[in-house]
Amino acid sequence: MSAILPPTERLWWKHPLDRVEGTWIAIAFVWCMIMFFMMIYWHMYGKQNLSTETYKTTSEQFAAKAQAVVDKYTVRVETDFQTPVVAPPPGSDVYMIARLWNFWPILELQQGQTYRLHLTSMDYNHGFSLQPANINIQVVPGYEHVVTVTPNQSGTYSVVCNEFCGIGHHTMVGRIYVKAEAGNVQ
């Protein structure tokens, strides 16, 4: 019963390694390094890296900026709540507000185009969970997170709130439409 007794060799730290251990440590170490450098590699060559561009904001400031874009680029309204559907030009700044309990407004983007998507919450933490693409981003009040997105497929996407935000959490779903590139209807 030795792991529960003091080591019998007083100088246990001088004891040689068994070959099984030495080999495994070497292999495991190499694998750890591969995993570490994989993250860096993906920053250099991968296409999916979450931006860290962040600004402090307040709900008033952010709401005003979002409203300006909505006023300019609304193409129609949908749902019983008259939620505007906003189709800003490619390359522009688009805003999505998370609040109890909806995402506002609905966005209409174009496939293959890049947008600067600004996210924040007006109240509690919320979760931006884009489905079925399955991209999940935390939305934190007081912080404006600017994520550069390039939709690679057309279709109707839902934004499910996946951070617990109170009793209406399960009703908090938003929407993003992605229109197909001209001549590429999927």
Partner 1 sequence: MSNNTTYRTCPRSGLQFESQAEKLVIANAVAGVIFLLIGGILAIGIVLTRWPSVHWLEAATFYQVLTAHGLDMLVYWIIFFEIAVLYFCSSTLLRCRIATPKIAWLAFALMVIGSVMNNYAVYDGASSVMMTSYVPMMAAPSFYLGLILFAVGALIACFVFFGTLVVAKREKTYQGSVPLVTFGAITAAIIAVFTIASGAIILIPTWMQSMGWVEHVDPLIYRVIWWAFGHSSQQINVAAHISIWYLVAAVVFGAKPMSERVSRGAFLLYIVFLQLASAHHILSDPGMSVEWKVLNTSYFMYFAVLASMIHGLTIPGAMEVAQRAKGYNKGLFEWLRKAPWGNPSFSGVFISIIGFGFLGGISGVMMGTEQLNMIIHNTIYVPGHFHATVVIGTTLSFMALTYFLIPVLFKREIINPTLAKWQPYLFGLSMYFFCLVMMGAGTLGVSRRHWDMAFSGAALAYEWPGAAYLMMGLVGIAGIAAIVGGALYIYLTVGSLLWGKRVAQTKISSEPTPIPVGAPSAAAQSYGSLGFAAPGTFVLAMIFLAAFVLYYFINWKYLSTLWGLS
Site for partner 1 in 60-89 (CB under 8 A): 79-81, 83
Asked if residue 126 binds Cu ion (CB under 5 A), the reply is: yes
Asked if residue 97 binds Cu ion (CB under 5 A), the reply is: no
Task: Please tell me what DSSP assigns to residue 62.
Answer: H
Q: Buried b vs exposed e over 21-53: b needs ≥16 C-beta within 10 Å?
A: eeeeeeeeeeeeeeeeeeeeeeeeeeeeeeeee
Asked if residue 92 binds partner 1 (CB under 8 A), the reply is: no
Report the residue number, 119 or 172, with the smaller CB distance to Cu ion: 172
Nearest to 177 by CA among 112, 113, 102, 109: 109
Task: Tell the burial category of 146 from Cβ atoms under 10 Å away from its Cβ (0-12, 13-18, 19+).
Answer: middle
Among 43, 91, 183, 184, binds partner 1 (CB under 8 A): 43
Among 106, 147, 149, 161, binds Cu ion (CB under 5 A): 161
* Both structure tokens of 102: 């909806």
Asked if residue 154 binds partner 1 (CB under 8 A), the reply is: no
**Cα atoms in the Cβ-side hemisphere of radius 13 Å centred on 34:** 6
Report the residue number, 73 or 128, with the smaller CB distance to Cu ion: 128
Restricted to residues 16-35, the positions that interact with partner 1 (CB under 8 A) are 16-21, 23-25, 27-29, 31-33, 35
Query: In the complex, what is the shortest distance from the CB of residue 115 to Cu ion, in angstroms, rounded to a whole number?
Result: 22
DSSP, collapsed to helix, strand or coil, labels residue 159 as strand
Among 58, 61, 92, 148, binds partner 1 (CB under 8 A): 148
* Interface contacts to Cu ion, rule CB under 5 A: 126, 161, 165, 169, 172
